[in-house]
Amino acid sequence: MKSLKSKILKEGIIKGNNVLKVDNFLNHQLDIEFLNDIGKEIKERFKDYKIDKILTIEASGIAIAAIASQYFGNIPVVFAKKVKSLNLDDSIYSSKVFSYTKNIEYDVMVSKRYINEKENILIIDDFLANGQAVLALIDIIEKAKANVVGISIVIEKSFQNGAKNIINKGYKLESLVKIKSLDGKVEFIE
Amino acid sequence: MKSLKSKILKEGIIKGNNVLKVDNFLNHQLDIEFLNDIGKEIKERFKDYKIDKILTIEASGIAIAAIASQYFGNIPVVFAKKVKSLNLDDSIYSSKVFSYTKNIEYDVMVSKRYINEKENILIIDDFLANGQAVLALIDIIEKAKANVVGISIVIEKSFQNGAKNIINKGYKLESLVKIKSLDGKVEFIE
């Protein structure tokens, strides 16, 4: 997605050689017109698929998923919640995530009411790095006996393991841009 | 907002005599078509005001604010972040919040890059109860010497103190529905 590459080059800030901050339009301040372009592009990538629902994760995935849903006929969006420690509860699906960024383990949860057997679900998130959050969402969808249609990511950090792990497991992954390295400057995979 | 009252009566779940769960369309699963109706209504309530930016707070405010922005010409949305303990940092505005629901204190923060002096800012959030989160957002806007145009809330629990506190301080508050009591059933203020 060419306009996204330009936006990242113009507004993204590299921290260390690993972290790309896009707080200016995606993670803290939201550029709503640009999120609409992102939503259109996600629809384009999945136009041949039947999708009943979008699953994302709080907090940065929510705006992207909500705006994108408008290009899929306003299908429901469910956002998974992150919780430090989960009380055992029959009414939820949950999966454990280890965050390498924060060096903590947390639980991701979705109420059983909001994912139903055989539903066709598209996962949307802002970043893909180690893929832990996406793998937890896949786990939750499969526990619910629903169908993972695919995963759409705004920014894939291809030098980390997430994309490889997801593709190796046989899932359709559509990242709008893929970053080869962040060593001083942003290099994309063309 | 009549359609919101019907939606709450149909899909809301009362817990105890204090908590209204609207996970079915607002707080966990998102009804995007209905969020568009909410966005239109917020615009209608503030159509005579100049608004440069929307400020909300993670996580439940994000989708409402992002969709609503589309009715204000796609103005930027900033979502404040909740953090347990904040490192002192010159680059952020912060304010303390006590959550009566969770019985914990936390910090709300916004990067100084995303609120500028003299900007006209509309605060949007899902619920108003004790008003602690909204008062923190007002505090942050005023620290930045920006202008609080008003506050728009989807569901006001009028039997708690938040609305009174905000109105007494002289701010324009527009709640799309006002709940008088949750004692066994939802009673609205007409």
Residue A24 touches partner B, C-beta closer than 8 Å: yes
> Vertex A48, ends A45 and A51: CA angle to 5°?
85
Instruction: Give the whole-angstrom CA distance, residue A144 versus residue A4.
Output: 34
* DSSP-based three-state secondary structure for B97: strand
Residue of B24, B30, B57, B79 to mutate when probing chain A, most A C-beta within 10 A: B30
Q: By mean pLDDT, which of B29-38, B88-97, B136-145 is the weakest? A: B88-97
The sign of the CA dihedral A114, A120, A123, A124 is negative
Q: Cα-flanking dihedrals φ and ψ of residue A122, to 5°?
A: -105, 125
Residue B81 touches partner A, C-beta closer than 8 Å: yes
Instruction: Give the whole-angstrom CA distance, residue A70 versus residue A125.
Output: 16
The predicted structure's pLDDT at residue B190: 86
Look at B58 and A59 and tell me if their CB atoms are within 8 Å.
yes
Residues 6 or more apart from B16 whose CB is under 8 A from it? none
Residues 6 or more apart from B112 whose CB is under 8 A from it? B90, B91, B92, B93, B144
Strands (E), chain A: 13-15, 19-21, 29-30, 53-57, 77-83, 92-99, 104-111, 120-128, 147-157, 173-181, 187-188
The predicted structure's pLDDT at residue B88: 64
Q: What is the ipTM of this complex?
A: 0.96
Averaged pLDDT, groups of 10, chain A, 190 residues long: 98 92 97 98 98 97 98 98 78 91 89 98 97 97 98 97 97 98 94
The predicted structure's pLDDT at residue A102: 78
The predicted structure's pLDDT at residue A88: 64
Across chain B, mean pLDDT equals: 95
Selection from B40, B150, B65, B137 nearest residue A32 by Cα: B65
What mean pLDDT is predicted for residues B60-84? 96
Q: Cα-flanking dihedrals φ and ψ of residue B25, to 5°?
A: -140, -15
Shortest distance, CA B151 to any CA of chain A (angstroms): 18
Say what the alpha-carbon torsion angle A63, A66, A71, A72 is, to the nearest 10 degrees: 140
The predicted structure's pLDDT at residue B167: 98
With 0.90 as the threshold, say if the pTM is over it.
yes
Residues making up chain A, counted from first to last: 190
Alpha helix positions (H), chain A: 2-11, 32-45, 60-69, 132-143, 162-168
Instruction: Give the whole-angstrom CA distance, residue A43 versus residue A23.
Output: 24
Q: Radius of gyration over alpha carbons of chain B, in Å?
A: 16
Tens digits of per-residue pLDDT, B1-48?
A: 999 999 999 999 999 878 999 999 999 999 999 999 999 999 999 999
Look at B29 and A77 and tell me if their CB atoms are within 8 Å.
yes
Q: Cα-flanking dihedrals φ and ψ of residue A59, to 5°?
A: -100, -30
Q: Are B94 and B140 in contact (CB under 8 A)?
A: yes
Look at A78 and B29 and tell me if their CB atoms are within 8 Å.
yes
Q: What percent of chain B has pLDDT over 70?
A: 98
Look at B62 and A67 and tell me if their CB atoms are within 8 Å.
no
What mean pLDDT is predicted for residues B157-168? 97
The predicted structure's pLDDT at residue B100: 78
The predicted structure's pLDDT at residue A147: 98
Residue A35 touches partner B, C-beta closer than 8 Å: yes
The predicted structure's pLDDT at residue B16: 85
Q: Radius of gyration over alpha carbons of chain A, in Å?
A: 16
Shortest distance, CA A64 to any CA of chain B (angstroms): 9
Tens digits of per-residue pLDDT, B104-124?
A: 899 999 999 999 999 999 999
Q: Cα-flanking dihedrals φ and ψ of residue A167, to 5°?
A: -65, -40
Residue B30 touches partner A, C-beta closer than 8 Å: yes
Of A23, A33, A36, the CB nearest to B111: A23
Residue B186 touches partner A, C-beta closer than 8 Å: no
